[in-house]
Structure 1
Amino acid sequence: MKSLFTFLAILLINLSFAQDYKVIYEMKFKPTKGKDSIVSEHFVLMIKPKTNSSKFYNYNYYYSDSLMTSIKDKNPQGGFDINTASFKKANYPLGVIKTKTDFYLVKTLDGDSYKINETKPSWKISNETKSWKDYKLQKATAKILGRNWTVWYSNEIPVSDGPYLFKDLPGLVFLANDDSGDYDFSLISLQKSDLVEDYFPSILSKSIEITSDKYKKVYKAYTLDPAKQLRNGVYVDDSGLKINLTNGASPEMIRAIEKDRLDNIKKFNNFIDIE
């Protein structure tokens, strides 16, 4: 009988670790250097403990992809009109793919996406703890891509993961902030199931793997000519959707969109990764 109870206990523990998790985080950030205006976005973290992997992305991507799928399902023959205003804009277009061996930061720029293999964080775990919504959290710190982060994790949730590039701690990350006060994550929803949807945003899924230095060059080129694709007859909307313009874009349209994008480049210059 004792061996049976032991077997059942081990089975329950294994099932607990095998279950997938869907976690929703709120990310608050200051998009412009030197300004205190704050933008709030929701991000999804899909965790698969069996493969020690996860995917992290802006929730608005999921909304827009679901809407596009619904439109296509209703019009299987094609020929449908798309109202791009109905798509939700991802104010911070970011994705992260984490596996046992690799951490990829995935970014989108002017309709194309890029995947950068980043170094795993080197954590310093503190003895400091605190209570938060019935969970006991423990403090850890690390410098990640130029920012000094403080995170609070709980080993009551048996997964070593969290938002952004946070992973390899003895539990799930609930809270995180950088020491400049520019970025802040907080867990707002936690669900576990036997199978989490294996989804990653369509705009990010066909990413080109490049180095961080090469991406910086790509971004620099974009800031110097943000209307390049438009002059070649391709319009990219806020969701990253590429639309081929049959008759091209008028000079007035090009000037207006170029000005808008240059303004956005100035407004959004406080990136989560500063190295």
Structure 2
Amino acid sequence: ALAALEAGLEGLRINPGNIGPREHVDRVVDAAKANGAVIRVGVNSGSVEKHLLQKYGGPCVEAMVESALSHVRMLEDRGFYDTKISLKSSSVLDTIAAYRLLAKSCDYPLHIGVTEAGGLMRGTIKSAVGLGILLHEGIGDTLRVSLTADPAEEVTVAWEILRALGLRRRGPEIISCPTCGRTEIDLFGLARAVEDALAESTADIKVAVMGCVVNGPGEAREADLGVAGGRDKGIIFRKGEVIRSVKGQDALLAAFMEELQRLLKEKETH
């Protein structure tokens, strides 16, 4: 911890009660103060102290909160208040309950997350439910999506959670419909191609990929640009108004990419 702070680390994740004698805590706090660093106190269901496990009969929500606040008090006793707190559990419901209780118990910034959430699909669902509920209630100042996957996927999921709640807007929003009896194109392939084309874009636009020309333009009327496929042709539309009609899916995709580049250039000039 001391070496990291001396190297310029701006945020330290450490529990003062776990680093040994009093003088160790004093040295870390002094170094954090000298370097203007923040300390994050973090407790999860597997790190609750033994005496609290005995008191509460296990790593329950109340035990996690009491554990975190006891570490925070050690910092407060040394005049250190640049602290944020994390309480994480692999249980979505316990995570929500723990942060709700903690938010009522102190005014420190809270770092939220569902720990050990799982792989890409299951972990995304658990994180979206847990973090979404907390953020909607105004609980949480920073967050981490924990997935057994490429860390880049964690960032993507986190941004999509924030976007869904209207808390952040950066990059395109892609909306697409599920398949149904009216779908007569390779909707999955078309949606993937559009997602790939926009993977690195930061433009604040909404793009729609719809399965049929009957309802597509109306259902995605708010989209800046949309594409919808039919049996022998597809259409491209802006704000619900059809601007092009194209035969063949390959030609439809190529035409859509042309319109997409035109839209992106328009956004760059404004």
Q: Which has the higher helix share?
A: 2
Give the TM-score, by structure 2 length: 0.22
Using CA pairs below 8 Å that are at least 6 residues apart, which structure has the higher relative contact order?
1
Considering only CA atoms, is the larger Rg found in Structure 1 or Structure 2? Answer: 2
Give the TM-score, by structure 1 length: 0.22
Q: Which has the higher strand share?
A: 1
